[in-house]
């Protein structure tokens, strides 16, 4: 006990006061993420491992990460996991299999035109890409074009896509991007309602959309993931890995002969990869990398992307209503972000708050599923447009 205390005292004493302050700030940040996960139930499967990981990698001489000690390089398990599962994009892609197996595209296939609202809701991604690129040009030593591409991925509202792009472009802001992406996903119930109310009138929010649910043939359900993969591959070849793994998971679900594999993908695989992802991304949350002015700018840009994704979907619905005979409740356009199923639940509750007989859940869910596909394709388009 005495030896351990002496080592700890020596290691802290050797740190500069600024480094100690940064370490304590990161501990506080990690504790905050754990609090939000446990007390507020905000994305607990990811925020809790990320919060604990942030504390783990910011302990003095932490053995969890690779570092030089007494002239020798000691490998840390988190750094090894990062190289094995995130540096090569493996973990995010495996998680996409689980996500694909969880999604029932039936409501979307029953009303396929709602897919366009998912596409419109990616507006914030490309607007943020442009804005971040301009900041990088105007302010020296801030963001490269590759950083801008990775930061814009926060707007996908899709954690695995954000991780994939951040790692692909090897941005130093991966930690900030991931904290922003998952925090804002958890804050959808707070972020979206004010935006939707600002963009719509009460009359528009009261629009009812009757839903006649039709049976989608099994052959259509099986062909859908295959066709989407082929089309995405032809339009944006770099998206094949992202879209392909998502659609492969859905094909496992819909084929009807791989029930045990579908259950494994949805539960065991998805849960295991989520745990590993959450704690491993903390490697990029070391104080010297994370506590910068640029991190605050990344968080602000992420919020900007989320807001304008919502704006894009709502405005498209309002535009369609100028010509459509059967009006669309523009609130469902906000569900085009990939935060499934949080966004569609939020919009459903907003509809009921305006009119307790206005049930928008299936329409909102259809748009939300379209957003899942569109966000992954948008990520693939960024990969095609911007080189490493």
> CA-CA distance, 171 to 283, in Å (whole number)?
13
- pLDDT value for 4: 46
**Could you report the per-residue pLDDT of 214-259, keeping only the tens digit for each?**
678 899 999 999 999 998 888 878 778 888 999 999 999 999 899 9
- pLDDT value for 5: 52
**Could you report the per-residue pLDDT of 168-182, keeping only the tens digit for each?**
898 888 888 888 887
Q: 69 pairs with which residues across the strands?
A: 72
- pLDDT value for 212: 62
Residue 85 makes CB contacts below 8 A (sequence gap 6+) with: 91, 276, 277, 280
Virtual torsion, Cα 74, 77, 78, 79, nearest 10 deg: 40
Would you say residue 39 has pLDDT above 80?
yes
H-assigned helices in 82-158: 90-102, 106-110, 115-120, 123-138, 145-152
- pLDDT value for 269: 94
- pLDDT value for 118: 82
- pLDDT value for 194: 92
**Could you report the per-residue pLDDT of 53-95, keeping only the tens digit for each?**
999 999 988 888 888 766 677 888 999 998 888 888 888 889 8
**Maximum mean pLDDT: which of 209-213, 308-312, 375-379:** 308-312
- pLDDT value for 272: 93
Would you say residue 98 has pLDDT above 50?
yes
> CA-CA distance, 56 to 43, in Å (whole number)?
20
266 near 101, Cβ under 8 Å? yes
Q: Among 125, 369, 376, 366, which Cα is nearest to 246's?
A: 376
Q: Among 229, 341, 210, 283, which Cα is nearest to 53's?
A: 283
Would you say residue 157 has pLDDT above 70?
yes
**Maximum mean pLDDT: which of 102-111, 163-172, 258-267:** 258-267
Q: Is the dihedral of CA 306, 310, 313, 318 positive or negative?
A: negative
Residue 317 makes CB contacts below 8 A (sequence gap 6+) with: 117, 328, 329, 330, 331, 332, 333
> CA-CA distance, 62 to 229, in Å (whole number)?
43
- pLDDT value for 11: 59
Q: Among 367, 359, 319, 327, which Cα is nearest to 343's?
A: 367
> CA-CA distance, 50 to 43, in Å (whole number)?
11
Q: 67 pairs with which residues across the strands?
A: 74
Q: Among 286, 317, 244, which Cα is nearest to 97's?
A: 244
Would you say residue 163 has pLDDT above 50?
yes
Average pLDDT over residues 351-355: 90
Would you say residue 2 has pLDDT above 60?
no
**Phi, psi dihedrals of residue 18, rounded to the nearest 5°:** -65, -40
Would you say residue 3 has pLDDT above 50?
no
Say what angle helices 44-57 and 174-186 make with each other, to 10 degrees: 150
Q: Among 194, 161, 198, 159, which Cα is nearest to 180's?
A: 159
- pLDDT value for 214: 61
Q: 68 pairs with which residues across the strands?
A: 73
Which band of pLDDT confidence, cut at 50, 70 and 90, is reported for residue 46? confident
Strand residues in the chain grouped as ranges (E): 67-69, 72-74
**Could you report the per-residue pLDDT of 108-154, keeping only the tens digit for each?**
888 888 888 888 888 888 999 999 989 988 887 788 999 999 999 88
Compute the C-alpha angle 228/234/235, nearest 5°: 85
* pTM listed for this prediction: 0.83
42 near 155, Cβ under 8 Å? no
Residue 234 makes CB contacts below 8 A (sequence gap 6+) with: none
Which band of pLDDT confidence, cut at 50, 70 and 90, is reported for residue 13? low
Q: Which long-range contacts (CB under 8 A, 24 or more apart) does 206-212 make?
A: 206/354, 206/355, 206/358, 207/327, 207/328, 207/329, 207/330, 207/358, 208/329, 208/355, 208/357, 208/358, 209/328, 209/329, 209/332, 209/360, 209/363, 211/111, 211/359, 211/362, 211/363
Q: Identify the burial level of 388 via C-beta atoms within 10 angstroms of its C-beta, where 0-12 means exposed, 13-18 middle and 19 or more buried.
A: exposed
H-assigned helices in 139-217: 145-152, 159-168, 174-186, 188-199, 202-205
**Could you report the per-residue pLDDT of 281-340, keeping only the tens digit for each?**
888 888 888 888 888 899 899 899 889 988 999 999 999 999 888 888 999 988 888 777
């Amino acid at each position: 006990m005495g030896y351990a205390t002496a080592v700890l005292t020596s290691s802290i004493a050797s740190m500069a006061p600024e480094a100690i302050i940064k370490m304590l700030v990161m501990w506080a940040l990690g504790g905050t993420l754990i609090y939000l996960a446990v007390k507020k139930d905000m994305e607990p499967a990811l925020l809790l491992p990320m919060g604990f990981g942030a504390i783990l990698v910011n302990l003095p001489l932490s053995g969890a990460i690779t570092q030089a000690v007494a002239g020798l390089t000691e490998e840390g398990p988190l750094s090894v996991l990062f190289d094995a599962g995130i540096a090569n994009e493996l973990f995010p892609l495996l998680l996409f299999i689980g996500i694909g197996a969880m999604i029932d595209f039936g409501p979307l296939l029953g009303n396929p035109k709602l897919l366009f609202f998912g596409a419109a809701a990616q507006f914030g991604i490309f607007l943020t890409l442009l804005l971040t690129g301009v900041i990088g040009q105007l302010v020296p030593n801030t963001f490269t074009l590759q950083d801008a591409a990775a930061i814009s991925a926060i707007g996908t509202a899709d954690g695995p896509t954000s991780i994939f792009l951040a790692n692909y472009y090897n941005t130093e802001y991966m930690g900030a991007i991931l904290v922003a992406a998952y925090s804002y996903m958890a804050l959808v119930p707070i972020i979206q309602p004010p935006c939707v109310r600002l963009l719509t009138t009460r009359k528009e929010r009261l629009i009812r959309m009757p839903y006649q649910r039709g049976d989608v043939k099994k052959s259509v359900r099986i062909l859908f993931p295959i066709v989407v993969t082929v089309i995405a591959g032809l339009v944006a070849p770099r998206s094949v890995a992202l879209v392909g793994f998502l659609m492969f998971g859905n094909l496992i679900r819909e084929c009807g002969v791989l029930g045990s594999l579908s259950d494994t993908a949805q539960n065991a695989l998805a849960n295991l990869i989520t745990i590993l992802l959450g704690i491993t991304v903390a490697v990029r949350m070391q104080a010297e990398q994370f506590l910068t002015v640029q991190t605050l700018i990344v968080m602000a840009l992420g919020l900007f992307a989320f807001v304008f994704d919502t704006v894009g979907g709502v405005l498209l619905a309002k535009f369609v209503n100028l010509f459509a005979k059967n009006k669309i409740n523009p609130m469902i356009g906000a569900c085009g972000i990939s935060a499934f199923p949080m966004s569609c639940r939020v919009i459903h509750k907003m509809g009921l708050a305006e009119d307790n007989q206005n049930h928008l859940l299936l329409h909102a869910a259809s748009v939300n599923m379209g957003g899942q596909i569109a966000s992954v394709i948008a990520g693939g388009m960024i990969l095609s447009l911007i080189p490493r």
